Structure 1
């Protein structure tokens, strides 16, 4: 028998029968190790749920409060709690005779489709059924119905009618972020012994399983999925730690879950609703602030305000990626390159490294007598392995190069599939000295991103025209100004445990009528302005 088990390509784990604490159960005796996952999250449009749940979505009306939105049509209603992204739908089903709970709930799941992710039934009771997202074969548990569609049915009026209540969440998982972290979970034998020791009523333990706990990292747009044990205690799922905590407070066998549900229900009923439907409709649809003349072609609107530009705005939607990479360790990179080239003194003189920034003073005479020689001079430097590390990974960025001011410089950046990276974390800047009839290259400052890779398949970007329109309708292109240039490039928007995340971004430089020059940035995946956005950083919690 042992030989047969060894020949099968599975990981087997020893178990033992629990006779004393939990009869008729087999428990594992060793700890389990599971991988932790991280994702960039996004918020679904409320129309996803409106169109899937309402019988006649086009007839839906709305009321709004400061924090929540309420959609309704007859007996159907949808409440969205904006501070938690929770959605709650209520309706009445007719002609339900002969239908089981799955047959009544599945049409809603079917209509919402893959927009809610890959969901499966986790468990069902007499009047409740629970659909959840799964990761690597394990269900997701969230405190605010993240990754979950929870159905509850009750009798309503005639025998053939059923009242249905659905709860879910607007948040969705989008882009996986590379992670090597692991979490060690206790053996089930240890789990049961600890619960028993804290006074758990073993009759209330229906089942326990491994799942992933959804944890929103505040102000980052990142979600951690943390493996954990989850126990169905009574009629409620609780994490192992949450149940232990409640048991320690002496509430293990006396938790009134129905009371909690009723409090939650009445909290919804206590909402004060006010009619601002058109305002909220625009806001929830994530449309950008608009002007009354938005139906007029863009070029006419710009001309009416004397906004000048050259050429036409392209309507092409290029493909781009969410990219990840790590800042290069130049100490280690130099060591490797010296060994590869067998040059132990490579960049050993007049070179300083401060964290992830390398600065090198150039002794060789490299001169430029005309602006037309910029790319030639840059190429000459980048093609010298003894002078620049990773030189073949950079390309010229004309828009950031400036020879006119008191500190002239030539700028190059890394690129990925023909789209440059325009970010201080991935840049090589040649600093020049201006002489009477020429410029000489004095030194360069270099940053670099290693291990660049896409986090998922390519996605279409918003077009140049759409990005210009977004800036215009948000009053970021003043009257009598001039659009100097526009360019699609990657920009860092997030750092997650040392991994830098880049997204395609439209860079648009504008000169105002008082000669001020500013560069606006628009996320090319979301068409949202990110000029003043701060790069969020996620670190491990100690």
Structure 2
């Protein structure tokens, strides 16, 4: 049985009246683009790993020049597609392997890169490395090619447990003094992210992205959706550190 790493558990932030916290955030000039949900949910401890399965699919791909290295399939299309055709391409295994197992991530995409994240029956994976497809888009809106990584052998390690709400995660992050004054919360999503850098265990995680002041640089923080404690943001920060707000 998988045992939770106790070093990541912290005492939950003391309960405060949510309206009082909202007022404090307003006083600190912290804006929230979308009101976070108070809905609680459930999730699992999952295990997943990256392997060479994409390498074996190269021979079946059409209209592209593809190569596989270090867990990534990199491909350039011979016939260029309009970006509006991507959803259709994703469903054709002759163009994209396992394409139906990914979903569009608007919050991670920009004019030059469209990002799709790998999904599972229990949620969506999010990391800087595995479980995503990044389409390269030209200035005139054509799909030039893509980079793909894939998580396989996804399995449940423990029975489902309750997760905290998005509002609770945001208030915890604020009370941990992790949101600077004059910040704007751009988005907050519940994803499956790595519990630790050096293992293959994924847990439900509230990923919160914000900008501060006049900067367009997006900062990313993670809250363990089981315990409400902070997680290192190292393996998610790189996922969007090249993006700026649109």
TM-score, normalisation: structure 1:
0.40
* Counterpart check, 1:40 vs 2:9: no
Question: Structure 2 vs 1, CA of residues 532 and 383 (structure 1 numbering), >3 Å: closer, same or farther?
Answer: closer
Give the match for residue 409 of structure 1: 113
Could you tell me which of 156, 179, 204 is aligned with 1:504? 204
The answer for the alignment partner of 1:384 in structure 2 is 92
Q: Does 1:468 align with 2:170?
A: yes
CA drift of 1:384 comes to 1.5
Deviations 1:237-272 (A, max 9, x none): xxxxxxxxxxxxxxxxxxxxxxxxxxxxxxxxxxxx
- In structure 2, the CA distance between the partners of 1:470 and 1:351, relative to structure 1 (3 Å rule), is same
Deviations 1:357-413 (A, max 9, x none): 000101122124xxxx4xxx331220121111101101111110111xxxx100001
Aligned to 1:399: 107
Structure 1 residue ranges (4+ consecutive) displaced by more than 6 angstroms after TM superposition: none
> Per the alignment, do residues 365 and 331 of structure 1 end up closer, same or farther by CA in structure 2, a change over 3 Å counting?
closer
Q: Secondary structure at the match of 2:117?
A: strand
Shift of 1:306: 1.9
Distance apart, 1:456 and its partner CA: 1.7
Given candidates 357, 361, 375, the residue that maps to 2:76 is 361
SS in 2 for 1:452: strand
Aligned to 1:523: 224
2:61 corresponds to 1:326 = no
* Aligned equivalent of 2:66: 351
Change (3 A) 1:448 1:302: same
Q: Is this contact kept in 1: 2:101–2:120, CA < 8 A?
A: no
Contact 1:330 1:353 in 2 (8 A): no
2:183 and 2:132 map into 1 onto residues whose CA distance is: 29
Q: 1:491 to 1:285 in 2, by over 3 A?
A: closer
> Structure 1 residue 41: deviation in Å?
3.2
2:191 and 2:206 in contact (8 A); partners too: yes
> For residue 301 of structure 1, what is the aligned residue in structure 2?
24
Q: Which residue of 2 aligns with 1:486?
A: 188
Structure-2 residue corresponding to 1:317:
40
The alignment partner of 1:40 has SS state of coil
Cα offsets for 1:287-340 (capped at 9, x unmatched): 44x7xx9446322221222211134221111111111122131366427xxxxx
For residues 211-248 of structure 1, give each alpha carbon's deviation from its aligned partner in whole angstroms, at most 9, with x where no partner exists. Answer: xxxxxxxx8x8xxxxxxxxxxxxxxxxxxxxxxxxxxx
Structure 1 residue 421: Cα displacement? 1.1
Alignment of 1:75-474 (within 5 A): 286-288=11-13, 294-295=16-17, 297-330=20-53, 333-334=56-57, 346=61, 350-368=65-83, 373=84, 377-403=85-111, 408-417=112-121, 419-423=123-127, 424-435=129-140, 439-474=141-176
CA distance in 2, matches of 1:520, 1:461: 17
Provide the rounded CA distance (Å) in 2 between the counterparts of 1:417 and 1:532.
24
1:505 match: secondary structure: strand
Distance 1:527 1:486 in 2: 14
- Cα distance in 2 for partners of 1:409, 1:526 equals 34
SS at match of 2:195: strand
Corresponding residue for 1:23?
Answer: none
Say if 2:192 and 2:203, in contact at 8 Å, map to a contact too: yes
Superposition TM-score, scaled by structure 2 size? 0.84
Bigger Rg, which one: 1
Q: Structure 1 461/333 Cα, relative in aligned 2: closer, same or farther at 3 Å? A: farther
**Deviation for aligned residue 1:514:** 3.4
Of structures 1 and 2, the one scoring higher in RCO (CA 8 A, sep 6+) is: 2
Distance 1:320 1:484, change over 3 A: same
Q: How many Å separate the matches in 1 of 2:56 and 2:89?
A: 18
Q: 2: CA distance between counterparts of 1:349 and 1:434? A: 20
Distance change >3 Å, CA 331–CA 314, structure 1 → 2: closer
